Amino acid sequence: MAKKIIMNQNNIRNFCIIAHIDHGKSTLADRFLELTGTIPKREMREQVLDQMDLERERGITIKLAPVQMQYNGYELNLIDTPGHVDFSYEVSRSLACVEGAILLVDATQGIQAQTIANLYLALEQNLVIIPVVNKIDLPNANIEQVSQDLIKLIGIKKEDILFVSAKTSQGVPALLDQIVKKIPSPKISEEHLRALIFDSKFDDFKGVISYIRIFFGNVKPGDQIKIMATNKKSEVLEVGIFNPYLIKKDKLVAGEIGYITTGLKNVEEARVGDTITNFQDPADKPLPGYKSFKPMVFAGIYCQEGNDFPQLREAMAKLKLNDAALTFEPEHSTALGFGFRTGFLGLLHLEICQERLKREYNLNLIITVPSVAYKVTLNEAGFAALERKEKAKATKEIIITSPLDLPDKSQIEKIEEPWMKVDILSPTEYMGQIMRLVEEKKGKYKNTEYLDEKRIILHYELPLASIIVDFYDKIKSVTSGYASLNYEFLNYYDCKVEKLDILVAGEKIDSLSSIVYEDSTFYVGRQIVERLKEILPRQLFEVKIQAAIGSKIIASSRIPPMRKDVTAKLYGGDVTRKRKLLEKQKKGKKRMKIFGKVDIPQEAFLAILKH
């Protein structure tokens, strides 16, 4: 059926706030809610839309948060977005559901790397951009310089920029007026129902709750719907809006942002980016979805107490329902028992998930050394071995997310690692320090872009393995905290790596294994061994720590035993009594060395992480 535009939904404005981390997005959203009367003043608190305690404690937004406000007869649908690069996929999902975006820049920090990255994402969606300078009330605000930077970046006039203080509400009413004036209203048409799922969560009583933007048609309770990609049929049990909590409505119409409950029991059946349509009268084709987000960092998650594994399994399943970017599969370690190999979007994502598992499910966890996903091409021998083991595969290319899965060197034709496109925004005077650091991390210089005489953007290509550990901290260190960075996946490129095994008391500890570059194996092995010597607790027997490549030991150290004076109780008598006790102790230590076990603390994995 041809699209037929019948009217503009003149009273609806859909927009989101995009910015670098800590530029005041959540505070500005608070002022919107306050000024529009969406939340009574007596119920106001800081970061209202950040509904996790973890978000408020850290002062960062982790999950996108939609809310509907009423202002001067207009319906304003806002989606607050995260600012950290690890959660940029949340930003892209928000942008696909709106017609405009507020580009928020901190007057004290200026334009940062993530500001530019989010701006480009918004321009790709052809959104109306409203540039806003925030924190103008601070004494160190550099309003004039930040204004000039925005003029150069977007190509606008100074009068197009709005100046606000989200903390004091200065300029915020004028911003609300500009949202109504500049952001276009969505168009509705007589066409089949098509709604885009931009987020999902699971409720124990209602089942899957899908957050949707309706582009065409309408939906109400009792409608029979179909999820187009999974072909799942369901009945709509409830529809509503965010205020910011779920508020029931009779119907959602084209142009609106809201939620529907379907009764589905699995979030995977209503995936983010999928299209909802009528079951009896379906649309011909789905809406453009999103690029699928792939985990980039992998780590093992284990319980400190082995009998907590059933609780961990249940907790991981529940966490997955609220975090579509999380992936996991069971794995077993001889040292740590049963656990899960888990995929994350970055180290912050890993840290947040670990903290949520501890807080929400009361679990004491051990997180193994994070690694990246390697693409391994097997030779004929390796492919034959894989066929015998797993009943033949259709391709010689396999993805390795754990050092334990790396095939023997004789079975590998080539190994490729993920590389990232990295943009580092910094004051000009730190250019030399940044270049030295990136060179140490095996980075490839591409070009330099001058924003003005004082600030530059350095464009690099870097292996992800060099970024995930301490690259951000070191960039901040060498630039006195002034630099910021943004990165995105580029491609897989050839690399020469090997599996480094760690042996403690003669036993190979699988969970301490890591994949390292061939040209740095001896250096890394020595570093890890020395760090473990400092971290592992002393025992009553000697503990030998070794680093090995295959069967070759490349570094070794020992932790001397704790000494117990077994002759202290002797106060005299023949010397043979003393010798007899010492010999007995010697035999006991020898036996303990054979049967003794060394517990591996969490600090040991951090030691390897920072090699």
What share of the chain in percent tops pLDDT 70? Answer: 83
Within 195-331, where are the H helices?
309-322
Provide the domain count of the chain: 5
Does one domain contain both 515 and 489? no
Does one domain contain both 380 and 419? yes
83-114 pLDDT, tens digit each: 666 666 677 778 888 999 999 999 988 888 77
Distance CA 428, CA 431 (A): 6
* Kind plus residue range of the DSSP H or E element containing 371: strand 371-372
On the question of pLDDT at 15 being above 90, the answer is yes
If pLDDT is split at 50, 70 and 90, which confidence band does 571 have?
low
**Residues whose CB is less than 8 angstroms from the CB of residue 605 and which lie 6 or more positions away in sequence, other chains included:** 366, 367, 368, 369, 511, 512
What percent of the chain is helix, strand and coil (3-state, nearest 5)? 30, 35, 35
Distance CA 415, CA 398 (A): 10
Does one domain contain both 246 and 341? no
The last residue of a domain, from among 495, 520, 553: 495
Does one domain contain both 419 and 523? no
Q: Provide the 3-class DSSP secondary structure of residue 92.
A: helix
pLDDT for 101: 92
Q: Tokens in use for 491?
A: 């491609």
266 in a domain, yes or no? Answer: yes
433-465 pLDDT, tens digit each: 999 999 988 899 999 988 878 888 899 999 988
70 in a domain, yes or no? Answer: yes
Q: What is the domain-level CATH number for residue 528? A: 3.30.70.2570
The last residue of a domain, from among 453, 469, 495: 495
CB atoms within 10 A of CB 206: 16
Residue-level length of the chain: 611
Distance CA 104, CA 61 (A): 15
Looking at 43-52, 313-322, 529-538, which range is the least confident one?
43-52
Q: What is the domain-level CATH number for residue 242? A: 2.40.30.10
The last residue of a domain, from among 149, 164, 187: 187
* Kind plus residue range of the DSSP H or E element containing 433: helix 431-440
If pLDDT is split at 50, 70 and 90, which confidence band does 608 have?
low
442 in a domain, yes or no? Answer: yes
Nearest to 431 by CA among 447, 413, 411: 447
Does one domain contain both 473 and 396? yes
Instruction: Note whether 504 and 532 are within 8 A (CB).
Output: yes
Does one domain contain both 325 and 465? no
Does one domain contain both 220 and 348? no
Distance CA 546, CA 558 (A): 8
Q: Residue 493's beta-bridge partner residues?
A: 417
287 in a domain, yes or no? Answer: no
Does one domain contain both 483 and 514? no
pTM above 0.85, yes or no: no
Q: Tokens in use for 92?
A: 């892209």
Q: What is the domain-level CATH number for residue 348? A: 3.30.70.870
Q: Provide the 3-class DSSP secondary structure of residue 417.
A: strand
Look up the domain containing 87 and give its range: 5-187
Average pLDDT, the chain: 81
Does one domain contain both 29 and 123? yes
Q: What is the domain-level CATH number for residue 411? A: 3.30.70.240
Does one domain contain both 66 and 98? yes
Does one domain contain both 456 and 490? yes
Q: Residue 7's beta-bridge partner residues?
A: 188
563 in a domain, yes or no? Answer: yes
Does one domain contain both 18 and 123? yes
